[in-house]
A and B are shown apart, each in its own frame.
Chain A
Amino acid sequence: DGGITQSPKYLFRKEGQNVTLSCEQNLNHDAMYWYRQDPGQGLRLIYYSQIVNDFQKGDIAEGYSVSREKKESFPLTVTSAQKNPTAFYLCASRQYSNQPQHFGDGTRLSIL
């Protein structure tokens, strides 16, 4: 089945450590997105990419970095500069403009 795979499902970060969240899609979608969700809140856009080797900052990009070297992959790195990284992270993709976004099942990041 086609879809979006996020891994790991749970991730723990130590102080001062960078961690990378994986997002892979086999839907042949051009655009990919990373969102952050805090308890009881809606989704906030971190970064998005409409094409390989290109990406744009969303509303809360500080402390995060991404790469888009392959169409099917859009990893997110949570750097030590992100002082409050505990959240639920969601990756999404879509095929064409104004088509629905397809979401993965998320990665829950916590601080040790």
Chain B
Amino acid sequence: LAKTTQPISMDSYEGQEVNITCSHNNIATNDYITWYQQFPSQGPRFIIQGYKTKVTNEVASLFIPADRKSSTLSLPRVSLSDTAVYYCLVGDDYNQGGKLIFGQGTELSVKP
């Protein structure tokens, strides 16, 4: 299972763009990259998933370089409600028997 490395914490201000980078040097060919958001005392919520290049949805963008050894979650114009922990997961749960590994995540603090 690919191990991921993320910053433990980040600070930002309302209205700024936030980029959280995740390193996954030993990513396998079939692995997908998935990001979740978690608020205190709640279950994680899916944000975005990708395999290569760029993926965009209504809440975020995911940038994946050609070598796929890292990925960047981009949150445009954050608000106070984006204060949460963000987890980067890398894996192919089909071939890993359904397992996915959550790391410690990045605690994002958005200030007014």
Measured CB to CB, the residues of A under 8 A from B are 4, 31, 33, 35, 41-45, 48, 50, 56, 58, 88, 90-92, 94, 97-98, 100-106, 108
Contacts and interface: CB of A to CB of B under 8 A. Distances in A.
Contacts of B98: 31, 33, 48, 50, 56, 97
B13 interface: no
Contacts of A90: 43-44
Contacts, number: 58
Interface residues of B, number: 23
12 contacts: A31-B98, A42-B104, A43-B102, A48-B98, A48-B99, A97-B92, A98-B93, A100-B36, A103-B43, A105-B41, A106-B42, A106-B43
A42 B42 contact: no
Given A35-B102, A42-B103, A100-B46, A108 B41 contact: yes
Q: Kindly list the 3 A-B residue pairs having the minimum CB-CB distance in the complex, ordered from nearest.
A: A103-B43, A97-B94, A100-B46
Contact of A42 (B34, B49, B99, B105): B105
A25 to B, nearest CB: 12
Interface of B: 32, 34, 36, 41-46, 49, 87, 92-94, 97-105
Contacts of A45: 99-101
Nearest to A104: B43
Nearest to B44: A103
Contacts of A42: 87, 102-105
B102 to A, nearest CB: 4
Nearest to B49: A100
A101 B104 contact: no
Contacts of A101: 44, 46, 100
A102 B93 CA distance: 14
A92 B49 CA distance: 17
A100 B34 CA distance: 8
Contacts of B97: 50, 56
Given A31-B98, A48-B98, A41 B46 contact: no
B37 to A, nearest CB: 11
